[in-house]
Copies of this chain bind each other. A is one copy, B any other.
């Protein structure tokens, strides 16, 4: 049996409309490609990607920082309330095969660093531009990069 690709989509809770739309499209495209989508489970980019993926019939795992599962957004298929605070960023990125960062914010920066530290491929779109991290110019390109080494 072929193991599904797990892709974490990170991003801020207060995206601008373009980032929100990008996140929704990233979610849809990942779901269409059969990937399991992981996200931080809260609002903003986390909610948009979950909405995009679940509307396309995909599976979304929300990895929450807090201890209360009901804080998850309504588009999550399954929710893990870690109770770890910001340390959940390490869980979210470690659990994924690849990471897409939509937009910016400090939490997202930490997730890029944690993912690369664990040798997970990362691609950014409409946000952080960092030496050594590819920047995609569209949701389609970001998704293609995140699935690239999926044999």
Interfacial residues, chain A to chain B (CB-CB below 8 A): 3, 6, 36, 59, 61, 63, 67, 69-70, 78-87, 89-91, 94-95, 97, 105-114, 116-118, 130
Structural contact, A84 and B85, CB atoms closer than 8 A: yes
Which residues of chain B have C-beta atoms less than 8 A from A111's C-beta? Answer: 110, 113
Structural contact, A117 and B113, CB atoms closer than 8 A: no
Structural contact, A83 and B78, CB atoms closer than 8 A: no
Given A6-B69, A106-B113, A110-B114: A90 touches B90 (CB 8 Å cut-off): yes
Structural contact, B110 and A113, CB atoms closer than 8 A: yes
Name A117's closest neighbour in chain B (CB-CB): B106
Q: Give complex CA distance A3, B82 in Å.
A: 18
